[in-house]
Structure 1
C-alpha cells in the first residue's frame, strides 16, 4: 500500500514518464512512483518519492549514509560515486549517486541510483520538519539519458499551497 507523504507536494513529471501504482512495481512503502517509457535490456528506469517527519536534528548526510547501508544489505558492490549539498540555507538538500549490482528478475544488472534529500518545513506548522527523498534508479547505460528528467522533476518540487494555478 502506498505511504502518504508527510506533507503534500506539487511537482511536474517530465513527459516520458508515467505514474505507476507503487505496489504493482514492487515499491511498497513509497508515496509515488513513475516509470520511464523506454526500458533498457528489460529494466525500466523509475523514480520514487517518499518522506517522513523528522523530529530529530539528523543531518541529511546521516540519512544518506543510512540509505547506503540499507542498499548494501540488498545489493553488491555498492559505492557512492557522487555526493553534494544542494539547495539553500532555507531549503537545504543533499544529492548522492550510488553504483551497485543487483539481481532484477532473472538477471544481474549494473544500476545507478541518484537520490535527493530535501528538508522542508511544514507550511501548516513550521516547527515540523519533513525530509523528502526522491530517487531515480536506472541501468548504468540508461542513467545519463534520464538524469536530466530527474533533475527537472527535483527542481519542480514544492510544498502544495492549495492555490489554483
Structure 2
C-alpha cells in the first residue's frame, strides 16, 4: 500500500507527465508517482513524492545523506554529483543530484536522480516538522531533456490551502 504524505500539498504536473498508482508501478514506499510519456530505451522517467514527520533536529543535509545510504543498498556506483541548500526561514530546502547504476527491466542502466527536500514546520506544533522529498529519476541519456519539466513541477509545489 502506498504511503501518505505527512502534510497535504498541491502541485501541477507539466505536459507530457501522467499520474500512476504507486502500488501498480512497484513504488509502494511513496505517496505519488508521475510517469513521463516517452520512455528512453525501455526506462520511463518518473517523479515521486514521499515524506515523513521528523521529531529530530537532523539537518536536511543529514537527511539527504540517509537517502544516499539507502540508495547504496539498492544500486551500484552511487555518486553525489551536487548538493545545494536553500536557506529560507519559511521553507528551508535542499537539492542534490545522484548518479547510479541499477538493473531495471532486466537491463543494467545508468540513471540520474534529482532530489529536492522541503522542510515544513507544523503551524500548531513548531517542534514537529514534515520533510517532503520530490525526486526525478531518469535514464542518463534522457535526464537533461526532462530536468526542465521537473524544475517546473517543483516550482508549483506548495502546502495545500
1:22 aligns with 2:47: no
Alpha-carbon RMSD: 1.1
Query: TM-score, normalized by length of structure 1?
Result: 0.94
Aligned to 2:61, the other structure's residue is in SS state helix
CA drift at 1:122 = 2.7
Report if the CA contact (8 A) 1:54-1:131 is conserved: yes
The unaligned stretches of length 5 or more in structure 1 are: none
Aligned to 2:80: 80
Taking the aligned partners of 1:122 and 1:156, their CA distance within structure 2 comes to 20
1:142 aligns with 2:142: yes
Aligned to 1:149, the other structure's residue is in SS state helix
Residue-by-residue CA offset, 1:108-139 (whole Å, 9 max, x unaligned): 00000010000012345444210000010000
Tell me the matched-pair count. 161
CA drift at 1:152 = 1.0
Report if the CA contact (8 A) 2:55-2:127 is conserved: no
Aligned to 1:133, the other structure's residue is in SS state strand
Aligned to 2:114: 114
Aligned to 1:38: 38
The unaligned stretches of length 5 or more in structure 2 are: none
Residue-by-residue CA offset, 1:89-118 (whole Å, 9 max, x unaligned): 321100000001100021000000010000
Aligned to 1:92: 92
Aligned to 2:66: 66
